[in-house]
Structure 1
């Protein structure tokens, strides 16, 4: 049976299409500007390029070191995700599935952190990193990013773990399973949708992180993609090589776009299910 659409449905659909165009248009515009020469760009920003200048992507990769900074970013994001996701998962398990003295107090302190702007911890964090000789180090930045817990991720993953029947753990304990075996063999597999969702959000957050790498990294060879784009943008006042910068922007977007295309269903389903189970 063919679905009938009312006039209001059509209006809402048109609004959503227009909204989608406003999101896609800047991306398409940056792409075809990246395929121009600088002369074509300054002559008419709306005119399509006469010849596609793919060399701009090569120049952005080498001359502006977007290639090296992208590799630095993937190392930083990968390390932060692995360590940070492990701690988020095990913290959510301990706070939702285990009963121990002081658990409610810990939850209260965690919730209180929502009212504290993260910028307040910037100075003590920097002093600590400096005293531990972890500044200007991607590994040190990984430790700082992964050990700092996010309340949002913790609450999201806790929603999944609360829905797991307690009887599964009790049966495993009767069979002699240890606490860690229960965690890895029962909790983690059943909470996989939530873990994947948190992993995707962590990837996006770490990948777009600018302030941390900008403050703690002083060696240009260790810059992440966000800091490298900032440095390349500052160079525009001397070189005005905007088409190469646009090509660098497109290169920087590739990992995020790939992750979204591959896991967009997991993002939507995971966020929805986590909200329902809470």
Structure 2
């Protein structure tokens, strides 16, 4: 009786997950389909298949929306922020979970309190600080802001993973004469690679899809990231109806995240429970 109940519940969950998957896949496939049409075909019937695949729409989108320089801006912003931010998160997680020092509990508790504070509350003081430091309208300034603005979620994720590592490894290294930094770089970092990779993946997705920060701090169109560039392209549809080119641009913009998910889907799926088990 119990097994039948479990099977029935499992079937219901599978159906719900299948419907959820369709709700995500269908819009993506629809956008790709529309990007291969002409505008005439799009306005005639949005659900009809294109008579001829208009790959030229992607070339038009690349040139019209200036996606080449925008992609370079995004690569610089995401790449540097990812490397610097992931290193600082790893260092902070190690200091807060593996080391014993006065005030650690107070600082960790203060960081936890920030979970209850909406991030939008820091928007105005952050902007005033960035303006006074002359870091607005600068990709480098945006990198500094995103790298130093630590995420509690990433700290908890990586910190929970580091806490599962045996303490004896560090004690043995100290007995052999290793310094604190040597223990961190040669023992903790290699053993924490699965957690670091998971954090890096989530950071990449967050940075690549970032919109509010670049939109607020970047005033020069030549410095736009791809999220802001596609927002401006969408705004242009108020004055012209070249929707198929817009869909082609959206497809180009979402391609890196889709490829990343296909490659690292296992790590992304496991990331939610990464720090849930302690040794």
**Coarse TM-score class (shorter-chain normalised):** over 0.9
2:203 pairs with 1:206: no
> 2:238 and 2:56 mapped to 1: Cα distance?
22
1:93 aligned residue: 94
Query: Cα distance, 1:175 vs. partner?
Result: 0.4
Question: After TM superposition, what 4+ stretches of structure 1 lie above 6 angstroms from structure 2?
Answer: none
Instruction: State how 1:1-278 maps to structure 2 within 5 Å.
Output: 6=7, 8-277=9-278
> 1:90 and 1:122 mapped to 2: Cα distance?
26
User: TM-score with structure 2 length normalisation?
Assistant: 0.94
Query: Cα distance, 1:10 vs. partner?
Result: 4.0
> 1:116 and 1:91 mapped to 2: Cα distance?
20
SS state at 1:276 partner? coil
Deviations 1:81-104 (A, max 9, x none): 111111100000001111110001
**Contact kept in structure 2, 1:197 and 1:271, CA below 8 Å:** no
> 2:114 and 2:274 mapped to 1: Cα distance?
25
> 1:9 and 1:197 mapped to 2: Cα distance?
28
> 1:137 and 1:106 mapped to 2: Cα distance?
31
> 1:106 and 1:124 mapped to 2: Cα distance?
21
User: TM-score with structure 1 length normalisation?
Assistant: 0.95
> 2:242 and 2:26 mapped to 1: Cα distance?
22
> 1:145 and 1:248 mapped to 2: Cα distance?
26
> 1:28 and 1:72 mapped to 2: Cα distance?
27
> Cα–Cα, structure 1 residues 37 and 273, in superposed 2: closer, same or farther, change >3 Å?
same
SS state at 1:157 partner? helix
**Contact kept in structure 2, 1:193 and 1:270, CA below 8 Å:** no
> 2:40 and 2:10 mapped to 1: Cα distance?
46
The aligned length equals 275
Deviations 1:15-36 (A, max 9, x none): 3323222211101100010000
Deviations 1:49-97 (A, max 9, x none): 1111101111111111123222211211111111111110000000111
> Cα–Cα, structure 1 residues 8 and 103, in superposed 2: closer, same or farther, change >3 Å?
closer
SS state at 2:219 partner? coil
> 1:103 and 1:247 mapped to 2: Cα distance?
50
Query: Cα distance, 1:7 vs. partner?
Result: 5.0
Unmatched tracts of structure 1, length 5 or more:
none
> 2:104 and 2:214 mapped to 1: Cα distance?
34
Query: Cα distance, 1:119 vs. partner?
Result: 1.3
Query: CA-atom RMSD, angstroms?
Result: 1.6
